[in-house]
Structure 1
Amino acid sequence: MVKIASPAANLDLRAPIFTTLSKGIGVDWVQRIILVLVDYILLSLAWHTTQTLCTPLDFPWKLNNLLLPIPIAHIGIMVARGLYNSNEEYCKYVSSIEALTLSHLLLLSIVFSYQSHHFIPWSTFFWAWLLSVLFSLAGRLCANFTTNKLRQQGTICNPIFIIGFPTDIEKATQLLVQENHYRIIGYLPIYALEKYGVDKIVDEITSSGAVEVFVCSWHKIEQRMFLYWRLRNHGITLNILPLSLEEIVEEKMGAFLSLKSGIPFFKLSPPLIAGLDFRIKRCFDFCLAVLIILVLSPLYLAIALLIKLDSPGSIFYQQTRVGLHGKHFNVWKFRTMVNNADKLQKELENFNEMNDGILFKIKNDPRLTKVGRVLRRYSLDELPQVFNVICGEMSLVGPRPLPLRDIEQLSETQLIRHEVLPGITGLWQTSGRSEITNFKDVLLLDIFYIENWSLWLDLQILLKTIVTVAQKTGAY
């Protein structure tokens, strides 16, 4: 384990100090496994009973074997329908009936195709379906009754923390107690986050043994993005609990609400192994960057030769950019402009097409060389930044690192984009690039990326980047 004094000061916002299993995952999976075993035993019993009392079916497999493929197929359909996803799903008796009906129809179609020339005892299928439904529902009723009894004794209740204003905490406590699913082990006033800092508060929550945190007045927390990622990296589930319709509308949560006993909330569960996804991202970045250099090395050499033949000056262009936590580093690019391009920029400031002036972008930039225009059009000038990725200064996907000139014009709240590693490409590049003329829109895309980051989102952006570059969308 690597010991780091202050995670916020050294690591990407999404980076854990160490990987850990999601809290409460043990109890959750034990319940799922028990329910699957109960379903398997009861469904096997239903088919054995049917085969004994009715006309046996001629299957391509042996039904007298204990490991029946039929109950496994039934359970597979139930898994696909999400009937084992959470502690509440097994109460959905109608969904269970639908899943069993579908699996029996699929089984019937298999039998019909296997022995369509023989007599098929339809009554056997009917009784098999009926007994499977009755046995399964009986098992779920018993599981539901047993679970409720255990929860009343506090045996399998999730220990939780509540964060909010005093009045909100009181309301949330009354609502959550009715759930009979949670054990409240601590309260935290919302102002404590600003007073003591997110890291200290999350450490306190973690040491208490809480597996979930309910937050009221989420929009009132200034460092909510930090709170979310700190909890996520510790494997703790974050539940946003709006206590009024106004909060639901303000947070735009309508499409993501879960309802439990009339309580609407937005559940943000960490992955099974918290922090592993970010480590995979860094490993993926490094391996893909090395592969790009090896495969495209002839292209690198060809571009270098063309730049040298086209105009005097160096092949590469280095510019100081601001990266993770405001640290300066040199970003590498193929040179696309004349040697004194930086000095000429001051004379061209009046032609800047970015409305707020934070970024500098103009079409038909007179400083571009002939080869430089082609490189810019296909974004080939960015290829040397793959070396920045190998050095750990950048990622393949992330907010673009900005020059010092642009950083000086940012407000303190806009510096949130520096809490993650900058990237070669990102949502800005795949959403129009230079066609977006307000930095506010760029910032919104960056924040959306940080808040919704996942390995799948990175992959989508990389694939879309290829299409965007091929179409030359917004490039100049």
Structure 2
Amino acid sequence: MAVVAALLIHGAYGRWAVALVLPPTWIAIMLAHRSYDRSALGLGTEEYRRVLRGAVALPALAAAGYWLFTRNAALFHDMAMAALPVAAIGLPVRYTLRHRLHRRWGRGRDRSSALLVGPARDILDLVAVLRRGRAEEVQVAGVCLSDPENATELREAGLPVLGGVDDMNDVVRAMGISTVVVLPAPELDALALRRMSWAAAAQGVDFLLVPMLCDVSAARLAVRPTNGVPLVRIRAPNLSRSARLPKELLDRSLAAVLLLLLALPMLLIALVVRLDSSGPAFFRQQRVGRYGDHFTMLKFRTMRLDSEALRAELAHLNQNSDGLLFKVKEDPRITRVGSFLRHSSLDELPQLLNVVRGHMSLVGPRPPLPEEVEDYSPDLKRRLLVKPGLTGLWQVSGRSDLPWDEAVRLDLGYVDNWSMSLDLSILLRTATAVVRGTGAY
């Protein structure tokens, strides 16, 4: 990537020195930012941040080299100018390699063979969380239980029980385990955990502890040593207006641009909706936004005019009877054009107007109905701390196919772990989700 960027700079300014200096300098910067660490590859957005931090450091390093060593203004200029192309090339290459690694994990290659140690119920919960992800780096080879009397429950879930806590060393040695994952249990006190970590280190095995608090992004965690005790600090979610101002500006400006580009297709869709069935082209519905404020959400109409009157008759077909949502596969109320619009998500394009008006964001939790909010628990009301979104974690993770508790978990996780990088990641994943059409009905 650095060689390509150097050749671009050479082509622009006709100087060869940058082609000799930039590649080793870039590799050194990436090493300094630990961009080649395996722990940073394939998961989260940290690997992208490290590339961007390296691109920011490159002009500073060039300036230091200019003042301390070369006094070569042309080389300083070329190295500083190379920061943009090397980052512009590096990020998509990283993205491509990341998806290649995910595909290898999906085929069962390059995954860590893990032994889970702890109580049966918590192990089942952890395995469920690990299997939610799109790519599983960790392959569970077996479990060692702190409560062996509950082994039957794990065997029914297809997990091999290989013994108790005292059998950990023998299992690691016999099965070639590369990672030991320990869950909290009353039987595992500080001394027991220390001995387990010593045993893992002696065999060259990674030793991981599962925190009690899940769905917290790594960016919010930091270790704070206090009198020799490593305390884990969990930063509060950053939901202040000033922190979200860049998101607000990006949402409205990008939505306005999309409206201009899609104005003609939206007019054609509106015309087709009117011709397909009697009634207006747009469907207006009261939804609840940030802090509980109500607004009128716009969508292209996909149902018959008497759809609300027929809802009670279809209650027994509700796919989300475990929660507050009402979704029916092959809903007879949906029109012919409406079925296509829903499957392709084109029915949601008018919500760009809601984004421009400030009622919604491009990315956020699903906009709830007022009657749904009335039944919210205190925990669930945290969804209302941010604007609802046109897309979100719920949209890119299965939409209506998800059970209610999983949709809630995703929405609350988004509220607590919001960042601009998370928003950009969701926007990139939205295109794939729309093409697949999974859960769109």
Letter aligned with residue 321 of structure 2: N
Contact 2:288–2:369 at 8 Å: present in 1 too?
A: yes
Letter aligned with residue 411 of structure 1: S
Is the aligned partner of 1:460 residue 2:413?
A: no
Question: CA-atom RMSD, angstroms?
Answer: 3.6
SS class of match (1:343): helix
Q: Return closer, same or farther for 1:394/1:80 CA change in 2, 3 Å cut-off.
A: same
Aligned-pair identity (%)? 41
Is the aligned partner of 1:251 residue 2:204?
A: no
- What does residue 369 of structure 2 align with? 403
How far off its partner does 1:298 sit?
1.4
Distance in structure 2 (CA, Å) of the matches to 1:277 and 1:412:
24
Q: Return closer, same or farther for 1:408/1:280 CA change in 2, 3 Å cut-off.
A: same
Is the aligned partner of 1:473 residue 2:438?
A: yes
How far off its partner does 1:353 sit?
1.2
Bigger-Rg structure (1/2): 1
How far off its partner does 1:475 sit?
0.8
Contact 2:318–2:328 at 8 Å: present in 1 too?
A: yes
Given candidates 339, 351, 354, the residue that maps to 1:385 is 351
Given candidates 403, 423, 428, the residue that maps to 2:389 is 423
Distance in structure 2 (CA, Å) of the matches to 1:357 and 1:81:
44
How far off its partner does 1:81 sit?
5.1
Any idea what the Cα deviations from partners look like across 1:269-326, whole Å, max 9, x if unmatched?
7999x97652111111011101110111111011011001101100101001111111
Letter aligned with residue 420 of structure 2: L
Structure-to-structure mapping, 1:73-222, within 5 angstroms: 76=29, 79-80=32-33
Q: Which 4+ runs in 1 deviate beyond 4 A?
A: 72-79, 244-248, 252-257, 267-272, 274-277
Q: Return closer, same or farther for 1:347/1:310 CA change in 2, 3 Å cut-off.
A: same
Letter aligned with residue 385 of structure 2: E
Distance in structure 2 (CA, Å) of the matches to 1:322 and 1:449:
17
Distance in structure 2 (CA, Å) of the matches to 1:463 and 1:397:
11
Is the aligned partner of 1:440 residue 2:402?
A: no
Contact 2:364–2:390 at 8 Å: present in 1 too?
A: yes
Distance in structure 1 (CA, Å) of the matches to 2:356 and 2:217:
41
Contact 2:237–2:417 at 8 Å: present in 1 too?
A: no
Contact 1:277–1:455 at 8 Å: present in 2 too?
A: no
How far off its partner does 1:257 sit?
6.0
Q: Return closer, same or farther for 1:460/1:313 CA change in 2, 3 Å cut-off.
A: same
- What does residue 282 of structure 1 align with? 248
Letter aligned with residue 374 of structure 1: F
Distance in structure 2 (CA, Å) of the matches to 1:348 and 1:289:
35
Any idea what the Cα deviations from partners look like across 1:339-369, whole Å, max 9, x if unmatched?
1111111221121111324100010101101
Is the aligned partner of 1:366 residue 2:332?
A: yes
Unaligned 5+ residue runs, structure 1? Answer: 1-59, 62-67, 83-243
Contact 2:222–2:234 at 8 Å: present in 1 too?
A: no
- What does residue 322 of structure 2 align with? 356
Any idea what the Cα deviations from partners look like across 1:439-465, whole Å, max 9, x if unmatched?
221111011111111111001111111
Q: Return closer, same or farther for 1:383/1:254 CA change in 2, 3 Å cut-off.
A: closer
Contact 2:237–2:418 at 8 Å: present in 1 too?
A: no
Letter aligned with residue 356 of structure 1: D
Letter aligned with residue 378 of structure 1: S
- What does residue 316 of structure 1 align with? 282
Distance in structure 2 (CA, Å) of the matches to 1:81 and 1:310:
57
Higher RCO (C-alpha 8 Å, min separation 6): 1
Contact 2:237–2:416 at 8 Å: present in 1 too?
A: no
Contact 1:257–1:264 at 8 Å: present in 2 too?
A: no
How far off its partner does 1:268 sit?
5.4
Aligned length: 249
Q: Return closer, same or farther for 1:381/1:76 CA change in 2, 3 Å cut-off.
A: closer
Any idea what the Cα deviations from partners look like across 1:156-175, whole Å, max 9, x if unmatched?
xxxxxxxxxxxxxxxxxxxx
Letter aligned with residue 379 of structure 1: S
How far off its partner does 1:405 sit?
3.1
Letter aligned with residue 432 of structure 2: V
- What does residue 394 of structure 1 align with? 360
Distance in structure 2 (CA, Å) of the matches to 1:263 and 1:373:
58
SS class of match (2:212): helix
Letter aligned with residue 333 of structure 2: R
Given candidates 383, 390, 414, the residue that maps to 1:449 is 414
SS class of match (1:402): coil
Q: Return closer, same or farther for 1:362/1:447 CA change in 2, 3 Å cut-off.
A: same
Q: Return closer, same or farther for 1:263/1:369 CA change in 2, 3 Å cut-off.
A: same
- What does residue 296 of structure 2 align with? 330
SS class of match (2:311): helix
**Greater Cα offset, 249-258 or 376-385:** 249-258
Letter aligned with residue 427 of structure 2: L
Letter aligned with residue 213 of structure 2: E
Any idea what the Cα deviations from partners look like across 1:236-268, whole Å, max 9, x if unmatched?
xxxxxxxx9699742358985636363223345
Distance in structure 1 (CA, Å) of the matches to 2:217 and 2:383:
27
Distance in structure 1 (CA, Å) of the matches to 2:291 and 2:368:
13
Contact 1:317–1:332 at 8 Å: present in 2 too?
A: yes
Distance in structure 2 (CA, Å) of the matches to 1:80 and 1:340:
60
Q: Return closer, same or farther for 1:250/1:343 CA change in 2, 3 Å cut-off.
A: same
Q: Return closer, same or farther for 1:327/1:310 CA change in 2, 3 Å cut-off.
A: same
Contact 1:398–1:423 at 8 Å: present in 2 too?
A: yes
